[in-house]
Amino acid sequence: MPSRPFSLLSLACLLALPGTAMAVERVDLDYHVRLIPQDDQAEVTLTLEDGDAVRSLDFNLGDEGDYSDFQADGDWSQTGSRGIWKPADGKAQLSYRVKISNQRDSGRYDARMTDTWALFRGDDLVPAARLDQKDEVRLVSRLTFDLPEGWRSVETGWPRIGKNRFRIDNAERLFDRPTGWMLAGKLGSRRDKLGETDVTVSAPVGQGVHRMDIMTLVTFVWPELQNVFPRDPDKLLIVSAGEPMWRGGLSGPNSLYMHADRPLVSENGTSSLVHELVHVFSRIRDTDRSDWITEGLAEYYAIELLRRAGGLSESRYQKVREELAEWSRDVDSLRTTRSSGEVTARAVLLLQELDKEIRKESKGRHSLDDVARGLMRLDEVSTDDLVEITEALLGEPSDVLDTRLLR
C-alpha cells in the first residue's frame, strides 16, 4: 500500500516534465478561388503547406457533373461521385473547376453568376470531404478570392483578414472548408456590430434590396434572439438579390439568403428573415421524421421574437393563432421528413401550447426556451429527444405531447 502514493506522485511529476505532451503541428491549408463569369465557373485551388500531414481527402462530388479539370500534386482518383486526393510530400496543390449557377425546376436560381456579380454557397465551391490526417496535426485554413476586373468586393460569413481574404475556422468540423453564403461583384453593403457579432447586409447594386430595413429588423430582434439562442458568431452575413433568384429564404453557416421581394414581416404576422435567423443561431438538425421540430421552432420564434420585442400586440398575436389554426385544420400528423406549410403551422400551435404548459407546471421557472436550448446541444434531434427534455423539465409526462400528431 505505501507504494501507491509514490506511484501517483511519480506520475504527476512525469506529466509535469516539459516535452512529455505531443506538440500540435499547425499546417496551412489555403483555398484560392478565381471567379470566371464568362464561363459561369470558378477555378479553385487547395494548397497544403505540407502534404505529408494529410493522408487523404475523400470528396463527395455529387452526381451533377459540376466539378471538372482536376489537377493534383500526388495521387488523384475518381470513381462515381467520390474523388480521393492523396497529397504529395512537401507543398501540394489540388485544383479544379466548378460550375456556379444552379437553376431549380421552377426556373429560378439558388446560385447565379452574371457579368457583374455572383451569389453562391461556399459549400459548393469546396465539396464535403472525409479527412484522414496524421495525429496531432491541425489545419489552419484561409480563403482568398481573385475577382474579375471591375468587381469591387466579396463578402462571406467568415472573419475578414485582408483584402478579399478570410479565416475559416469551424470548431465543429475536422475539415475546415469555406461553407455558407457568399456574394461577390459590384455590391452595396451595410454593416453594424450587434453584441459580439459583426453583421453585414449585402446585395448587388441595382437589385432593389432595402439593406437598412433588413439591418433595422435584425437589430430590433437581436436581444430576444440571443436570450433564446446564446451564440456569438464572429460574423453574420445576410445576402439578397432579385429576379430571377429563388423567391424565398435559405440559411447557411453564419449566413442567410433572402429574395429582395420577400416582406420583412408578412401579412400573417411572421417573418421569413427572423425564421432564417433562428435556423442560423439554433443549428438544430432533425432526424427520424422530425422536421416538424426544426421548421416548427423556426416559425414559432419568428412570431414569438417579434412579439417579445414589441412588434406584435396581443390582439394581433391572437389573430395570428386563428389564422394558423384555420390553415392547419386538416393536419393529422406532424411526423414527416419535409414539412409543408400546413404542417409547420400546426407545429407552431403545438409548441405554443407546450410553452404554456411548461410555464404553468414549473410556476414560471421554465419555458419552451429551455427545451430549445437543450435541443441545440444535440447533433441531431428527434421527437423522442424533445419529449425527453420536456419531461425532464416538468418532472412528469406532458399532456400536450401526448397527441396522435406525434405518432
CA neighbor of 380 nearest in space, from 281, 257, 288, 258: 288
Whether the pLDDT of residue 52 is over 70: the answer is yes
What is the reported pLDDT for 3? 42
What is the reported pLDDT for 6? 41
- Helix (H), strand (E) at residue 11: helix 3-16
Q: Give the strand pairing for 25-36 and 137-146.
A: parallel
- The answer, as to whether pTM is greater than 0.75, is yes
Distance CA 66, CA 341 (A): 32
Whether the pLDDT of residue 343 is over 60: the answer is yes
Domains along the sequence of the chain with CATH: 284-406 (1.10.390)
Mean pLDDT of the chain: 93
> What is the DSSP track for 215-275?
HHHHHHHHHHHHHHS----SEEEEEEE-TTB-SSEEEETTEEEEETTS-SS-TTS--HHHH
pLDDT digits (tens, 9 = 90+) for 189-247: 999 999 999 999 999 999 999 999 999 999 999 999 999 999 989 999 999 999 999 99
Q: Which residue type occupies 281?
A: F
What is the reported pLDDT for 10? 45
**What DSSP designation does 332 have?**
-
Instruction: Please give the C-alpha separations between residue 305 and each of 49, 61, 149, 185, 309, in angstroms, as whole numbers.
Output: 46, 39, 43, 34, 6
What is the reported pLDDT for 328? 96
> What is the DSSP track for 96-165?
EEEE--EE-TTS-EEEEE-SSEEEEEHHHHS--EEEEE-TTEEEEEEEEEEPPTT--EEE-SS-EEETTE
Grid cell at residue 107 = 426556373
What average pLDDT does range 321-344 have in this prediction?
A: 96
Contact 338, 291 (CB under 8 A): yes
CA neighbor of 32 nearest in space, from 127, 188, 118, 141: 141
Distance CA 5, CA 400 (A): 56
Contact 303, 224 (CB under 8 A): no
Whether the pLDDT of residue 257 is over 60: the answer is yes
Residue length of the chain: 407
Distance CA 17, CA 187 (A): 55
Half-sphere exposure of 91 (CA within 13 A, CB side): 3
Dihedral sign from CA coordinates of 339, 254, 168, 102 = positive
Q: How confident is the model at residue 21 (pLDDT cuts 50, 70, 90)?
A: low
Q: How confident is the model at residue 365 (pLDDT cuts 50, 70, 90)?
A: very high
Distance CA 173, CA 217 (A): 31
Whether the pLDDT of residue 1 is over 60: the answer is no
Grid cell at residue 234 = 464572429
Q: Environment class of residue 372 by beta-carbon count within 10 Å: exposed (0-12), middle (13-18) or buried (19+)? A: buried
CA neighbor of 157 nearest in space, from 233, 72, 62, 76: 233
Instruction: Please give the backbone phi and psi of residue 66, each rounded to the nearest 5 degrees, phi first.
Output: -75, -20
CA triplet 330, 331, 337: central angle to 5 degrees? 150
